Amino acid sequence: MPNKVTQLLPSTPDGVATAADLLGEGGLVSFPTETVYGLGADATNDTAVARIFAAKGRPSFNPLIAHVADIETAKRYVEWSDAAQKLADAFWPGPLSLVLPLKQNTGMSHLVTAGLPSLAIRIPAHPVAHQLLEAVGGPVAAPSANPSGKISATRATHVIDGLGGKIEAVIDGGDCAVGLESTIVGLLGEPALLRPGGVPAEDIEAALGAKLKHDTSPDTLLAPGQMSSHYAPGAAVRLNATDWQVGELRLGFGHVPCDLNLSESGDLIEAAANLFRHLHALDRMEGNRIAVSPIPDQGLGRAINDRLKRAAAPR
């Protein structure tokens, strides 16, 4: 792909308008959401969507999430249901993606769905994302704005470091508040948790009044955020470290001596917000191994542990 200059746009009305124009012309623009930065393209433009896969080095069988400004726009592309309405009422706009049956002949690019009969869709809560989606007026396909398999981006400089020269622009919206990708819930049959994320699974079950199926069948490769190695820093990662070995970079949780602490007070919301930022920072330090404190496996801790397990997986 030819090298280009990636513009850093401010999160002002002008910056957002420029970004919307670039998307309208088939460009790639990274924008902040409350979860992580997305790498956006017009979801109805095959060429633009194909460029997302090229810029990220992403396998084309891995489908994308369509981002929309409101439920009316979502309903143009997916078959709506009572369960979808319940979850939308409880968590949209916010860090939840719903996988619903795809409507036919809507103009949605088949590259977004990787040819599946379903579509993952979400309404983000970040005001800049919302303004951008309103200005575009249609769906924007956006994976996380990192090279495939690497650490997700939670600030504009992460995006420039990973994708600078390959995309038209980044809107700088500061640090992402949630810091972990959206929770993905499949509503094709029994409600299923396809990826833990920014909304704890317990909260979704409470809103639905039903248990979520934890889908670990091979079909779940349809949500290949499930690929075992992902979010990988350059260094190897050792989990559940209760002691530190010589030469290790130490990512702590709670009152422990360490290089960087996810949350000294043991707060999982704070830890989620710090996770990718600290992994990026450790990645820039000297060291070939990162050791990580144990994280409680409840609430947002389940999503944090999911990301850490993949960061530690053999590559």
Closest approach of ligand TXA to the CB of residue 256, in Å: 29
- As a whole number of angstroms, the distance between CA 28 and CA 30 comes to 7
Match 């920072």 to its residue by tokens.
281
> Whose CA is closest to 180, among 8, 18, 52, 303?
303
End-to-end CA distance of the chain: 26
Q: Choose the stretch contacting ligand TXA; rule: CB under 6 A; options: 8-16, 140-148, 199-207, 302-310.
A: 140-148
Match 């400004």 to its residue by tokens.
69
- As a whole number of angstroms, the distance between CA 171 and CA 8 comes to 6
- The option from ligand TXA, Mg ion, none interacting with 163 (CB < 5 to 8 A, set by class) reads none
- As a whole number of angstroms, the distance between CA 87 and CA 245 comes to 45
Footprint (CB under 6 A) of ligand TXA, residues 225-284: 225
226 binds Mg ion (CB under 5 A): no
Among 19, 125, 192, 194, binds ligand TXA (CB under 6 A): 194
- The option from ligand TXA, Mg ion, none interacting with 38 (CB < 5 to 8 A, set by class) reads ligand TXA
Q: Which residues contact 201 (CB under 8 A, 6 or more apart)?
A: 183, 193, 212, 302
Residue placing its CB nearer to ligand TXA in the complex, 174 or 294: 174
120 binds ligand TXA (CB under 6 A): yes
Closest approach of ligand TXA to the CB of residue 90, in Å: 17
314 SS3 class: coil
Residue placing its CB nearer to ligand TXA in the complex, 40 or 252: 40
> Whose CA is closest to 180, among 264, 52, 299, 6?
299
> Whose CA is closest to 96, among 105, 88, 106, 104?
88
35 binds Mg ion (CB under 5 A): no
**Binding residues for ligand TXA, total number by CB under 6 A:** 27
Site mask for Mg ion (CB under 5 A), range 110-149, x = bound: ----------------------------------x-----
Interaction site with ligand TXA (CB under 6 A)? 33, 35-36, 38, 62-65, 97, 99, 113, 116, 118-120, 142-144, 181-182, 184, 194-195, 222-225
